[in-house]
Every structure is written in C-alpha cells, then in structure tokens.
Amino acid sequence: MILISHRGNLNGPNSEMENHPDYINSALEKVSSVEIDVWYKENSFWLGHDEPTYEVKRDFFYNNSLWCHAKNIEALRQLSVLGVHFFWHQKDDVALTSRGYFWTYPGKQITTKSIVVMPEVEKPKENISIAAGICSDYIMEWSR
C-alpha cells in the first residue's frame, strides 16, 4: 500500500509548515510519498494550500515521490509539460492522476486503484485494505 503524507504532515496537521519545501523534504526522509499543493504564477512555481506561499525551482518537482495537486489551471498545464505526477480536483468524488490512480475524496467509494484521501475525516464505506494507497495528515499512524 502506498502511504502518502498530506502536505508533509506525519503526525497531524501543522498549518504553519504545510507545503514548506523543508517540511516536504523532511517528510520524505520518513515516508515514501508526499502530496503537495502547487501554483504557477508570474512564470514561477509556488507551494501553498490557499495561496502561492513558497517559491520553488522547477527541479523541485523531479522527484517521483511527489503527488502534485495543481491549485490553478496554469499549474496544471505547467506540471503536464514537466511530466511529473499531478492531478487536479476540488470536491469531486474522484480525480484521475497523471499516473492512473483515483484520487478519492473522503467517504467516497474506493477501488483497487484508489488513493483514499484523509480517511480520518470520513471513514470509507469499503475496507481500506483494497485501496492502492492512503493520503493522510496522520500517515505515521497508518504506517503501523
């Protein structure tokens, strides 16, 4: 099962550090994958949930361990040009990632291709063990 840290969180939300490049890199020392929020603005890439906050170089994304959530349409286009793992969603039941996974909103139906997002928010109806992976703020708990 793929275990994905949500915005770099390992043991619960940390809104002051989420999406910070150092926080992401620190999480990658402990888990195999991290979901990040990506913006593209004024010819630059940025990380941040509600707004572009941390500017990063293009090279930052050349890491197969990152799951890039495009937060604006230009980020979606630019990430597709880079050929990295990305997806777009807002409150859709499911979004297809560029590598064929089903990014599945909390509480929605899951399949063997699903990444169950934030199961701590709303428990899925199906057994999580059938999913391809989990994305959580508490990913260290799920790794046990």
- Rounded to a whole number of angstroms, the CA Rg of the chain reads 14
Distance CA 43, CA 56 (A): 11
Structure tokens at 14: 């940390």
Q: What are phi and psi of 9, to 5 degrees?
A: -70, 140
The neighbour count for residue 53, using CB atoms within 10 Å, is 14
Bridging pattern class, strands 133-136 and 66-70: unpaired
pLDDT score for 13: 97
**CB within 8 A of 29, min separation 6: which ones?**
none
Residue 44's contacts (CB-CB under 8 Å, 6 or more residues apart) are 55
Which of 32, 26, 20 has the alpha carbon at shortest distance from 142?
32
pLDDT at 62: 93
Percent of all residues in the chain with a pLDDT value above 90, rounded to a whole number: 90
- CA atoms of 104 and 96, how far apart (whole Å): 9
Average of pLDDT values for 7-24? 98
- The 10s digit of each residue's pLDDT in 18-46 is 999 999 999 999 999 999 999 999 999 99
pLDDT of residue 33: 98
Least confident of 1-5, 10-14, 87-91: 87-91
Structure confidence by residue, pLDDT tens digits, 100-142: 999 999 999 999 999 999 999 888 778 899 999 999 999 999 9
